[in-house]
A and B are shown apart, each in its own frame.
Chain A
Amino acid sequence: MTESVTEAAIPLLELRNLGCERDERLLFSGLDVQLFPGDVVQIGGPNGAGKTTLLRALAGISTDFHGQIRYAGQALPEAAWEFAGDSLYLGHLPGIKKALTPAENLEWYKAQSGAAISIGDALAAVGLYGYEDTPCYQLSAGQLRRVALARLHLSCARIWILDEPFTAIDKLGVSQLEALIAQQSAKGGVVILTSHQDLSLPQLRMVNLQDYQSARDKTKIGLGSLSDGDAYHA
């Protein structure tokens, strides 16, 4: 009992005073978020607010940020190896080779995750039963996305970082993915996602990046009111 209490006290993933810059423009700063097992966080904000930049920083692809990302109580550069084994990132680009079949693509991902479920089952779970051996260049955009989403079934990672996971998939696919996210949360995982869709998950928390912009950039991105425009001319 005491063990679970101490475990719960340390967030699985923690962002401390995080800020990202792009092309010498501060996207957001002072972002503090704590993610405990079971949390689902949706990162919001208008286009260009830095959602993808934030997720890329979280996934460990980009190191262009100030502040700290802590995984299970350790700062990230030190715990990068453990974090890599415990996190899964799905970006805008699906990371799927068009020359290969879905099964061949997933083979490579399965070699890293060591999941127990078979590739055929994972593909069936995303509605691609019978497409195992169809080359990916023959699949539609939505089906290609589903191949990438099959990785969620193949993974044992506790932290999911999903950048616009709902693009190009149909309504049924959206509800299936929502159910999968809820299941991950129930298993004690953490899901961070960006989406412009409204999700119907009870445990969902919203973090709006607009709240963490500096005042000057707010006027720039929001394209301001008239008075803001006047201030710029002055």
Chain B
Amino acid sequence: MRDNSPAASLLGGFIASFRRDLLIAARHKAELTNPLVFFLIAVTLIPLGVSPEKTVLALLAPGIVWVMALLATLLSLDGLFRSDYDDGSLEQMLISPQSLYFTVMAKVLVHWLVSGLPVTLLAPVLGLMLSLPIEGYLPLLASLALGTASMSLIGAVGAALTVSLRKGGLLLSLIVMPLYIPVLIFGASAVQTAVQGGAIGMQLAVLGAFLALAIVLAPIAALGALRISTNG
């Protein structure tokens, strides 16, 4: 029998999973840039398609950046557990003597680091392109940082539920979209309110609460869903 303490093995498992996923993400650079390129292209098209007028763009900017960030996250979700399912790593993950909560958490954290975080960091640049007023930048960064993290976590549940379906892409969007709506409403509202000179403490607090709730519940729901997906 093994004699390592449970706490050490929990942390060790988390670190091993985190390192492995980060390494895999680094080896798939093309997949990494997909959501970012989508985000960039979609936002760039808005001035061309709607109006290059500064006042119109400034009015639309918070909503557009947020909607596109949401879609970019959605685009990257499908692959979250897909390759693990295909090569059998998922089965091994489920029967490994580790806390699955931390394994799923490590995967989601890597997903956020390679999709949500770059989108968040790119957002101010796109805000500039849409002539977002100067008061909007910090709230945009803060709300997107909190919001994309929640979206990665919530998305993991959808990805886990649909991983065993060959063409689960559409179903995944349908499952996840309703859960993204509150995040979108409060996120876009935070930027909008800041631009109009209001206080945004409430919106950020609600986004933070969403994130806290998602950190606690989403990995549990996701691993339950993974068990169902691999059971067949």
Chain A residues near B (Cβ < 8 Å): 56, 59-64, 81, 84-87, 89, 91-100, 104, 107-109, 111-114, 135, 156
What would be 5 A-B contacts, judged by CB atoms less than 8 Å apart? A84-B96, A94-B87, A100-B27, A109-B92, A111-B15
CB distance from A58 to the nearest CB of B (A): 10
Q: Known: A107-B16, A108-B20. Contact between A97 and B96, CB under 8 A?
A: no
Q: Is the CB of B95 within 8 A of A84?
A: yes
- Stretch of B1-9, B44-52, B124-132, B155-163 lying at the A interface: B1-9
Closest A-chain residue to B83, C-beta based? A97
Among B1, B2, B92, B97: residue with most chain A CB under 10 A: B92
Please state if A97 and B87 are interface contacts (CB–CB under 8 Å). Answer: yes
Chain B count of residues within 8 A CB distance of the other chain? 31
Is A112 a contact of B231 with CB atoms below 8 Å?
no
Bound Cα distance A108, B90 (Å): 13
A interface SS class: loop
Complex: how many Å from CA A113 to CA B92? 12
Query: Do B24 and A61 touch (CB < 8 A)?
Result: no
CB pair A61 B87 closer than 8 Å: no
In the complex, the answer to whether B2 meets A92 with C-beta atoms within 8 Å is no
* Bound CA–CA A98/B20 (angstroms): 12
- The answer to whether B97 touches A84, judged by C-beta atoms less than 8 angstroms apart, is yes
Q: Looking at the assembled complex, report how far the CB atom of B152 sits from the nearest CB atom of chain A, in whole angstroms.
A: 21
CB distance from B156 to the nearest CB of A (A): 19
Cα separation A100 to B25 with both chains bound (whole Å): 10
Q: Which of B24, B94, B230, B232 contacts A99 (CB 8 A)?
A: B24
CB–CB B95/A61 < 8 A: yes
CB pair A108–B91 under 8 Å, yes or no, is: no
B87 close to A85 (CB less than 8 A):
no
A108 to B19: give the CA distance in the assembly, Å. Answer: 9
Interface residues of B in 64-108 (CB under 8 A from A): 83, 86-89, 91-92, 94-98
